[in-house]
């Protein structure tokens, strides 16, 4: 009996380690060591639709810069992340505003994505405990529960991951009370160099099913050299010059 219990305990730990390793590979598949490109965001609300186009640069998990290109009235608005700190730059009043942690769950530019989504402040591998809920011949089904020390938005995340590429295919997000809040579907998978990447991310809010936000990646490069001066408050004011 002791031998069976030991084998069960060993098997359980191996599954837990595998799930954490799967999530690490998923984050690596989406991030790379660095990346840069352009995206188009389409926000569909009940009574209106709007489009934004923006550039982004990302270096590791600690540095991100996003700059709006269109529409013209919002051109130059920028969001900068350095380590755990995030700033918004508003060119119309030439002011840089530091975001408090309480703003991370708030909407970014009226979309269904949050400030946290935009700069990917939280890390699935570092902030959540992963469990392999089930698997089939094509997908891993991972359940993520926040670590006790993590300051994160979600109470639980369920992710379906492609077994060949480790790319996410669908993620479902729950709040701390266990209520389903939103789903993100990843599609339009294409090759970028020697890696695969989803070029269309579609977010569907649970409470307003007639609404959605779609992010289309127009172009992206991975593992490129990006100068550190881009990720500075001084650079925010030089973007328009």
Top pLDDT among 1 and 100 is at: 100
Tell me whether residue 108 is exposed, middle or buried, using C-beta atoms within 10 angstroms of its C-beta: 0 to 12, 13 to 18, 19 or more: buried
Contact 190, 197 (CB under 8 A): yes
Rounded to an integer, what distance in angstroms lies between the CA atom of residue 97 and that of residue 227? 23
Taking only the tens place, the pLDDT of each residue in 123-149 is 788 889 999 998 889 999 999 999 988
Q: What percent of the chain has pLDDT over 90?
A: 64
Rounded to an integer, what distance in angstroms lies between the CA atom of residue 187 and that of residue 74? 28
Residue 11 has pLDDT above 70, yes or no: no
Rounded to an integer, what distance in angstroms lies between the CA atom of residue 128 and that of residue 158? 11
Rounded to an integer, what distance in angstroms lies between the CA atom of residue 141 and that of residue 170? 10
- Average of pLDDT values for 168-178? 96
Percentages helix, strand, coil for the chain (3-state, rounded to 5) are 25, 45, 30
Confidence of residue 150 (pLDDT cuts 50, 70, 90): confident
Rounded to an integer, what distance in angstroms lies between the CA atom of residue 29 and that of residue 193? 12
Question: Of the given ranges (36-40, 101-105, 198-202), which has the lowest mean pLDDT?
Answer: 101-105
Contact 168, 186 (CB under 8 A): yes
Residue 152 has pLDDT above 60, yes or no: yes
Q: How far is CA 143 from CA 124, 129, 171, 212, 225, in A?
A: 11, 8, 10, 24, 34
- Average of pLDDT values for 199-207? 97
Tell me whether residue 227 is exposed, middle or buried, using C-beta atoms within 10 angstroms of its C-beta: 0 to 12, 13 to 18, 19 or more: exposed
pLDDT value for 17: 53
- Average of pLDDT values for 65-80? 93
């Amino acid at each position: 009996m002791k031998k069976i219990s030991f084998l069960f305990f060993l098997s359980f730990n191996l599954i837990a380690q595998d799930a954490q390793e799967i999530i690490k590979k998923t984050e690596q598949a989406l991030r790379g060591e660095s990346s840069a490109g352009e995206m188009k965001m389409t926000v569909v609300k009940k009574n209106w639709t709007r489009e934004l186009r923006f550039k982004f640069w990302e270096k590791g998990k600690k540095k991100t810069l996003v700059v709006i290109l269109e529409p013209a009235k919002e051109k130059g608005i920028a969001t900068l992340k350095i380590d755990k700190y995030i700033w918004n730059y508003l060119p119309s009043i030439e002011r840089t505003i530091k975001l408090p942690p309480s703003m991370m769950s708030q909407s970014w530019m009226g979309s269904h994505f949050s400030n946290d989504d935009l700069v990917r402040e939280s890390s699935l591998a570092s902030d959540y405990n992963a469990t392999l809920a089930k698997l089939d011949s094509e997908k891993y089904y991972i359940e993520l529960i926040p670590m006790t020390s993590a300051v994160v938005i979600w109470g639980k995340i369920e992710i379906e991951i492609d077994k060949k590429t480790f790319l996410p295919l669908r993620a479902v997000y729950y709040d701390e009370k266990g209520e389903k809040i939103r789903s993100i579907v990843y599609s339009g998978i294409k090759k970028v160099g020697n890696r695969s990447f989803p070029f269309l991310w579609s977010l569907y809010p649970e409470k307003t099913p007639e609404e959605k936000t779609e992010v289309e990646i127009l172009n992206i490069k991975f593992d490129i050299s990006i100068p550190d001066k881009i990720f500075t408050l001084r650079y925010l004011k030089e973007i328009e010059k």
